Amino acid sequence: MAKVVIIGGGWAGVAAAVTAKKSGADVMILERMDILLGLGNVGGIMRNNGRYTAAEENSLLGAKELFEVTDQASRHVNIEFPGHKHANLYDVCKVEPMVRKLLQEMCIDLQFKSRVVDVEVEDQRIVSIVLQDGTKIKADVFIETTGSTGPMGNCLKYGNGCSMCILRCPSFGPRVSITSKAGIKDDIGKRKDGTYGAFSGSCKLNKDSLSEEIVKKLNETGVVLLPVPKEEINMKKLDMKVCQQYALKEFAENIVLLDTGHAKLMAPFYPLDKLRKFKGLENARYEDPYAGGVGNSIRYLSIAPRDNKMQVNGLKNLFCAGEKSGLFVGHTEAIVTGSLAGHNSVRFIKGIPLLELPINTCIGDLISYEREQRKTEEGLRTRYTFAGADYFKRMKDLDLYTTDTGKIKKRIEKMNLLNIYEEKII
């Protein structure tokens, strides 16, 4: 039977598994940790700005399962915070078990604590991948969704050291770039000043450590803004963040808290003593990264060169998605690229033409735009997300942004792509 092996069980890997399975393949996910979703365990913001359009497109293309889960797991629906409209906030404490259950019901083989450390390549084809314990796994096609974060040495060299994030490198071993093991040269994202990588843009505070008043407001409305004292406002800090969609004045002038189960603090890190000066945060403590007072994880250090069908350049049977496949930020971005990679992996096995999403879908446009932009120095210093910054502006300019599902449906139907991910290929 046709076998697809996915390396990395973050949102991208999980999404690839879903579409590959629906297309008829035997699917295995290898995840180095003991949980799925990777960085998805610490985010939570969905459907804000252009992500709404993308989520609807992906569902209409035939992969709605994961968006159904995140909608169901949402603590807050259709809320607003500075620069962002109609956001859902999923509960990071609930979503992983729900996704795991979905995948188990779909009979996707989930292998935890299975870190891939090497590949065996013959004639530009990955023959097998090697796990830490030496086990070799063969497949017809592989999908790399290992993300781009860390590991410890990188977070130290390009950041403030290991801040003990959800990826827990010391316990589960570092991320490995499969492309680079296969001899492909990865691209490296940069900050505005040209240094490598970027800090993750938010932290989680333990809600039990916040004042009752703040907790109440968070539970009711999802958002709390606390103004930063004038002398502490630091606009420069915005430049070092991954999330350019949150690099707005409001985020420097205020502490923004969002309720995602924990209280999501929209800053890459914030010294604890300063944080505790805010009313209601006197006893605050970090939940993720544990050392959010000093730093955060460093991302975008291993981006695979690829085509618009999510196939890695230079290897015949490797696909990629999520942060591995571009300077993308976001769960939604990981899911939509993952869905395409999973679907195309099965087309590849079958030997039929791979699907390229037209640029009059926002997903297709994001994928091809990022690929073009990344070739330039400026492009390497930019992040690509439906949620804001340059790309959301582009979406609006190109009239790709809409929250009208009927309109999106017409578009997808016109392109003859409705439910294309539902088709059983083999």
Partner 1 sequence: MSDKDHICVDMGSEYCPCYLAEMKECIMCNHLQGKELCDCNWQGICIYQEFYWNGQKRKDIRKTVEGKIIEKKVIQENYVLFKVKVDVDLALKLKHPGSYIFIRHIEKPYFFDTPMSIMDVDEKNGEIQFVVQILGPKTKDILSCENKIFIRAPYWNGVIGLKKLKETKEKKVLLIGKGVGLAPAILAIKYLLKNKNHITFVIDPGKIGVDFINEYIKDFKIEPIEISLRNQKGVDILISLLKENYDLIYSLGSDKLHKIVKAEIEDTSKFVCTNNSSMCCGEGICGACTCKTKSGQLVRMCKMQVKAEEILEEGK
Interface positions with ligand FAD (CB under 6 A): 7-13, 30-33, 38-40, 42-45, 115-116, 145-147, 149, 167, 175-176, 200, 202, 297, 322-324, 329-332, 334
Cα 289 from Cα 160, distance rounded (Å):
12
Under rule CB under 8 A, residue 151 binds partner 1: yes
- CB closer to partner 1, 41 vs 154: 154
Cα 327 from Cα 325, distance rounded (Å):
7
DSSP assignment letter at 106: T
Residue of 393, 348, 339, 346 whose CA lies nearest to 367: 339
Under rule CB under 8 A, residue 188 binds partner 1: yes
Q: Out of partner 1, ligand FAD, none, which partner does residue 44 contact, by CB within 5 to 8 A per kind?
A: ligand FAD
Under rule CB under 8 A, residue 196 binds partner 1: yes
The amino acid occupying position 129 is: I
**Helix or strand (DSSP H, E) at 284:** none
Q: Out of partner 1, ligand FAD, none, which partner does residue 302 contact, by CB within 5 to 8 A per kind?
A: partner 1
The amino acid occupying position 126 is: I
Under rule CB under 8 A, residue 177 binds partner 1: yes
Q: Out of ligand FAD, partner 1, none, which partner does residue 31 contact, by CB within 5 to 8 A per kind?
A: ligand FAD
Strands 298-299 and 198-199: antiparallel
Residue of 364, 326, 309 whose CA lies nearest to 54: 364
- CB closer to ligand FAD, 2 vs 42: 42
Site residues (CB under 8 A) for partner 1, limited to 38-97: none
Side by side, the strands of the sheet bearing 262-265 are 223-227, 254-260, 262-265, 203-205, 286-288
DSSP assignment letter at 227: E
* Interface pick for partner 1 out of 302, 325, 344, 385 (rule CB under 8 A): 302
- CB closer to ligand FAD, 291 vs 417: 291
User: Are the CB atoms for 200 and 297 separated by under 8 Å?
Assistant: yes
- CB closer to ligand FAD, 244 vs 417: 244
* Interface pick for partner 1 out of 83, 150, 289, 379 (rule CB under 8 A): 150
Cα 335 from Cα 13, distance rounded (Å):
8
- Smallest separation, CB 216 to partner 1 (Å): 41
* Span interacting with partner 1, options 39-47, 173-181, 218-226, 348-356, rule CB under 8 A: 173-181
Q: Which two tokens stand for residue 406?
A: 């009927």
Strands 141-144 and 3-7: parallel
Q: Out of partner 1, ligand FAD, none, which partner does residue 332 contact, by CB within 5 to 8 A per kind?
A: ligand FAD
- Smallest separation, CB 298 to ligand FAD (Å): 10
Q: In this structure, is the dihedral angle defined by the CA atoms of residues 264, 365, 345 and 106, taken in order, positive or negative?
A: positive
Residue of 197, 188, 200, 203 whose CA lies nearest to 157: 197
Q: Out of ligand FAD, partner 1, none, which partner does residue 118 contact, by CB within 5 to 8 A per kind?
A: partner 1
* Interface pick for partner 1 out of 154, 308, 361, 382 (rule CB under 8 A): 154
Cα 67 from Cα 65, distance rounded (Å):
6
Cα 304 from Cα 322, distance rounded (Å):
10
Under rule CB under 8 A, residue 147 binds partner 1: no
Question: Which residues in this chain contact partner 1 in the complex, by CB under 8 A?
Answer: 117-118, 132, 150-154, 156-157, 161-162, 169-170, 173-174, 176-177, 180-181, 188, 196, 301-302
